Structure 1
Amino acid sequence: MKRVLSGMRPTGRLHIGHYFGALKNWVKLQDEHECFYFVADWHALTTNYENPEDIIELRRELLLDWLSVGLSPDKCTMFVQSKNIYHAELNLLLSMITPVGWLERCPTYKELKQEVSDKDLSNLGFLGYPVLQTADIVMYSADFVPVGVDQMPHLEISREVVRRFHHLYSTDVFVEPKGLLTETPKIPGLDGRKMSKSYGNAITLSEDLKEVETKLKRMKTDTNRMRKTDPGNPEICPVFDYHKVFSTEEERGYITEGCTTAGIGCMECKKILIKHVMELLEPIQDRRKHYEAEISNADEFLAESQKRANDEAAAMMERVRSAIRI
């Protein structure tokens, strides 16, 4: 079986964008490959360094979301990054050979430096996060990293670091990771912008279902359709973007016909969507309630799975130290 690795930063409860963008695929992959999924709490500190006291509870929240959608430590290796000190060691060693220019050209680094104005991101950890990301990946000889097309440049930095390491030390220690391209449906926020907790336009997986229904009923639609008798255009309606993910082909045809001919109103369109969203969230929330009662400490729950990851990392670091001759 091929190995797959991916991680998420614990920055708050996950929303349906995370589910369709990553988690749904992770659940499928755990039945097809040997998967390593980790809580990237050190990565969270690169931008959230002023609130480290939140990290422990956020780790638990992330774990609960993972378990609620169907991930299982019996099927994959789930672990916490900061509970494996070998990640820090490999990050240090790889930073010795990584040119600063490679880091400064990273798309995410440049984008966030421009977009984030409410905090100082001129820290070494933020600049060097691709090196830590590389250590995370190559530590477990991951063949594949699930990514969208826009994330391929980030993975290419990891591939370049691996090639440079092998060239400098005349040995092949690491597997050069490849991107496992996944289609990620476009799910905008409730206001049509990118879905983000910071924008207040997201639907979280654990949100009260009555509140979810209220949010969906208030969603923006085609702003040109002022009255029910006005024909609409589904292709510029954020609600229809949700239907592309949630609804059947037959339902989308019915909605398109009804909207463009003013045969149905926006609320009837939304009722179809609400039904499907509830069908997704209800079982997820039932599982979450079960695990919330069972898990008070994420680290204790993951102890056995964490040990598998740590043992794997220890063996890799023996090979790395031997290659560098230290």
Structure 2
Amino acid sequence: MRLVVTGREGQVVSSLVERARTHPDVEVVTLGRPELDLAKPETIERALVATRPDLVVSAAAYTAVDQAEDEPDLAFAVNGIGAGHVAAAAARIGAPVIHLSTDYVFDGSGEGAYVEEDEPAPRSVYGASKLAGEQAVAKANPRHLILRTAWVYSPFGRNFVKTMLRLAADRDELAVVADQWGNPTSALDIADAILHVAAMLHGNKDFASYGVYHLAGTGETNWSGFARHILDTSQAFGGPYARVRDIATVDYPTKAQRPANSRLARTKFTSEFGWTAPEWRESTKEVVRRLLIGETRQTLTA
């Protein structure tokens, strides 16, 4: 089975490349600029046709949440229009598409975990552009899985775990927001889930349960709780440590508004695909371990 993934350096893309090494029946092909540029639709179909995918993973995106407030046209071109062109190209060559989306499509005002049927209401340009992408993907390719995830981290790229470890190396105390809640999600787990689902789709041409699913780590916390676990784990491995001081969102202003509640209900995904993400503390522990003593130590400064 050949999975063609848009993007070359993202957390999920890097995780898929790594995890696929233990799946001898899976070939992962990554496509990025200049061969495939989501901001240049004319490149998309040509690149996908040339790679002959059995399934397309639409992972590339404009992810600079705050910068998107100043670059809305680019954010929508990549996350909305570009994602739609990827799905359309996949449809024309007869391949299903797995598209990655985000908790930011919700406004965060709900009290419980969001289910797939809840009405999206993004509060940021980034969230609105990702919602536009969901709509474009669904319209362009009936064989689509839209996977909303949240608070993604990994041994690769830039993310919250690596930021906390880097800051703790120079500071005794870190101020972290305590009134935003969500599900920390390892990109390694996302990759495992995608590989699991891809195998199911490849073996079942009559699969009929396409649509939107929530895919996130098991359990919930706030950002300060996430930070404490990261740093407690780091200390246990002999890595950097700092105290964490709770602050409110208003004390850490950003250009883009973040949802206060990013919790995603994962029941639908588990029920349909028989796969559940590990508890977030365990997945975080493994990533911290790798960053401190494993093969990706050098990426801490990335």
TM-score, with length taken from structure 2: 0.34
Higher helix share: 1
The structure whose residues are more often strand, as a share, is: 2
With the length of structure 1 as denominator, give the TM-score of the two structures: 0.33
Structure (1 or 2) with the larger CA radius of gyration: 1
